[in-house]
Structure 1
Amino acid sequence: MGQLKQERTFADAAKQFVREYVPLTNGERNPRYVKDHEARLDNHLLPYFGAIGLSALTAGKVQEYRVMRLQPHPVTGKVPTRSTLHHETVTLRQVMKTALLHGWLSHLPDFSAPYRASGKVSYRAWFSPEEYKRLYTYTRGRVTAVHGESYQHAVEQLHDYILFMANTGLRPDEANRLEYRDVTIEEDAGSGERILLIEVRGKRGVGYCRSTTGAVHPFERLVKRNTPKPTDLVFPQDHKKQFNRVLADCELKFDHEGNRRSA
């Protein structure tokens, strides 16, 4: 009699998933997004599921994993957030779909979390028009106040960063990846005003953003100040610490509901 074929394990499927994911998405996924999948596999999923045969990876086994992950860390006492567990489940599902496509699995288990209550409705902290004006008026004043100081450049960059972000609606991660060649100044056909046309590179690929006219002058100042190459980053520095200090100085760190503001 012929020897029975050994069942594939979760580790086999994970290896195949990592091998195929980048070429099959044809570069449409941001490299950071791919690295996040690999980090979840290496740090959590493979240590727990790696040696398990694919047919034994049932909904019950997934639930045991969730229970294990929600135990407080022995040193820090922390537990993963709901969002973190969701992302780990997404990676787990992607690996199992790879196994299904290769015929190593007959069906996908149920990955939904039992006993799940409705998600908490929350909103990001925002600025009213008056608060936004207070913020940029303060940073504009700082630019004048620090003229000639060694940190003048950083203060000027932050001021233009705030105006640029508010007038484009970009997320910080999108702005951090932005290169000068991704931004074009053009005339808006409807209003006749000058605006920015921006190629936005996010985790789902490339999209396009049309700014308000208020983003044009800050961008022109960035170009004049930095004399960049086309491939240079528009915002190469991390403004987080300086931005937080400014929020504190303006008493704008928290909104009316007590939510912490950020870029």
Structure 2
Amino acid sequence: MSCERNGTSRVGVWKWNGPAEPRCNVVSCPPLLPPANGAMTYDSIDSIPLYVMLCQSGFDIPVVGLSFTGRLSCQDSGKWYPLDKFPDCIRPMWGDMVLLTELIYQGNCADEKTKNAIKEAVLKYLSRIKDDIDRSICPGRNCRVDNINVVCGSNQKRRSTVYIQRLAKRQTTYARVTFDIATLFDLSKTSSQEAFNISLPLLTAISDRLAKDVENGSLDINGFTLERGAYQTSNNTHLKCPLHYKRDGYKCSD
């Protein structure tokens, strides 16, 4: 628009580039409802409406994509970003603190029948020591060994340990048994560091028990050999969430 001379007075007038005076349109987004088991607060950034969701004690904001951080802003399009409404607050689920473990049996492992026999033998051993571990190492702590997997190999492309690489060089066939030593990582009454300081000694004690049993022959299987170094654990623990849950810090969210 431009300021033009008015021929009848000494005051100029504005001329629009069109028949109508330009106006700023008020942008508004649809009303929002607070999340279930929570509330929302209002704020603004550069006059852009912004709502932030809050959750009641014992509830958390769910993981809904990478863009959503518990805030919704009204865009020039009249739509909320990054979601069109707040998700409901959810109760977090605790995951497991897990120590990865592997046991290498040297011998002819070439079919599913052999793999199943090895798995059954390991499961039978674990079932036999479960009550003793519950009493002596993990009273009331929900410790367990699960997620057992048996892989036969001599020419695997991916060899995760020096021990397996040594077997491959010797062209030795083997059965690799992997499993998790796990305990519930419960943060309901402790901090993450306190929970870690409780969980790690339990996992280490169970691992030490398994290592001793490997040495004394408790996990021997006919037709296979367990050499020194056949039992190994990872250097670090990690948090594992239940199926259909994502890790969210030290918690698991839907």
TM (normalized to structure 2)? Answer: 0.24
Give the alignment's TM-score, normalised by structure 1.
0.24
